[in-house]
Amino acid sequence: MIKGILGRKIGMTQVFEADGTVVPVTVVEAGPCLVVQRKTKENDGYDAVQLGLPGRVSPRRLTKAQKGHFEKAGVPPARTVAEVRCDATDEVSPGDRVLCDIFAAAEQVDVVGISKGKGFQGFIKRHGFAGGAATHGSMFHRAPGSIGPSAYPSRVYPGTRSSGRLGGKQTTVKNLRVVRVDSENNLIYIRGAVPGARNAVIKIVKRLAGARPAA
């Protein structure tokens, strides 16, 4: 069975369960995706499928290698391509469609996406430093404190947490719960927040067996 699907983040809303409990959910337009390539353990060392999320792609933006890759699979060029794992026994071939019905309500999933970019930020927002006391007369507020020894080696060690770019990186949120699957409209309702802004491309994958129960 294919373990995941690509989709676009629509936004957040809330749904009501049978007992009236309000559940915050993220709505994702998942697929339909097309299989671009099937990878096997014999040829590639692992079993997976390469999925393409359909979208408008200018032919001028495709290299010859990309054009040949899609033509060999017999599928239209996809704007986004990503791999997801599958079982060795899955009979999947290029051109097959992958729909959101591979997931079910109450199933646990991991969501992979690019987090929102926050720009250049300081120590406190970027790393959660406590800072100094906010009392009158204090000269130490939103500062990092000591960042290295003075006498030796008289420099800041590489890797020391500092200010810099925040966000805009691949982020995985694990152990989320699928609340509802709308197969007719290709929508998946996932409890909680997922990485990325609206219309961001995300990957939803099934949790491994033995994972802790979702909240």
pLDDT of residue 208 exceeding 80: no
Domain membership of residue 9 (yes or no) is no
Q: Which pLDDT score, from 0 to 100, does residue 40 have?
A: 86
Report the C-alpha gap between 56 and 45 in whole angstroms.
32
Record the tokens describing residue 209, joined without a space: 């067996």
Q: Which pLDDT score, from 0 to 100, does residue 166 have?
A: 94
pLDDT of residue 209 exceeding 70: no
Cα separation values, 209 from 1, 22, 147, 206, 213, Å: 14, 28, 42, 9, 11
pTM of the entire structure? 0.80
Q: Which pLDDT score, from 0 to 100, does residue 39 have?
A: 86
Domain membership of residue 175 (yes or no) is yes
Q: Which pLDDT score, from 0 to 100, does residue 22 have?
A: 92
Q: Which pLDDT score, from 0 to 100, does residue 215 have?
A: 52
pLDDT of residue 57 exceeding 70: yes
Report the C-alpha gap between 113 and 198 in whole angstroms.
11
Domain membership of residue 193 (yes or no) is yes
Domain extent, residue 114, equals: 22-27+103-134+162-215
CB 29 within 8 Å of CB 187:
yes
pLDDT, greater one: 205 or 210:
205
Domain membership of residue 212 (yes or no) is yes
Report the C-alpha gap between 123 and 179 in whole angstroms.
37
Q: Which pLDDT score, from 0 to 100, does residue 59 have?
A: 80
Domain membership of residue 85 (yes or no) is no
Domain membership of residue 181 (yes or no) is yes
Q: Is 60 left (phi over 0), alpha (psi -120 to 50) or beta?
A: alpha
Share of the chain above pLDDT 70, in %: 96
Task: Please state the length of the chain.
Answer: 215
Report the C-alpha gap between 46 and 118 in whole angstroms.
36
User: How does pLDDT run across 3-13, given as a tens digit for each residue?
Assistant: 888 999 999 99
Cis status, amide bond into 32, omega within 30 of 0? yes
Count of domains observed in the chain: 1
CA angle 143, 145, 147 (to 5 degrees): 120
CATH number where 214 lies: 2.40.30.10
Q: Mean of the per-residue pLDDT values for the chain?
A: 87
Dihedral sign, CA of 185, 186, 189, 195?
negative
Domain membership of residue 214 (yes or no) is yes
pLDDT of residue 210 exceeding 60: no
Domain membership of residue 125 (yes or no) is yes
Of 37-41, 85-89, 147-151, the least confident: 85-89
User: How does pLDDT run across 165-175, given as a tens digit for each residue?
Assistant: 999 999 999 99
Question: What value does the mean pLDDT take over residues 20-27?
Answer: 92
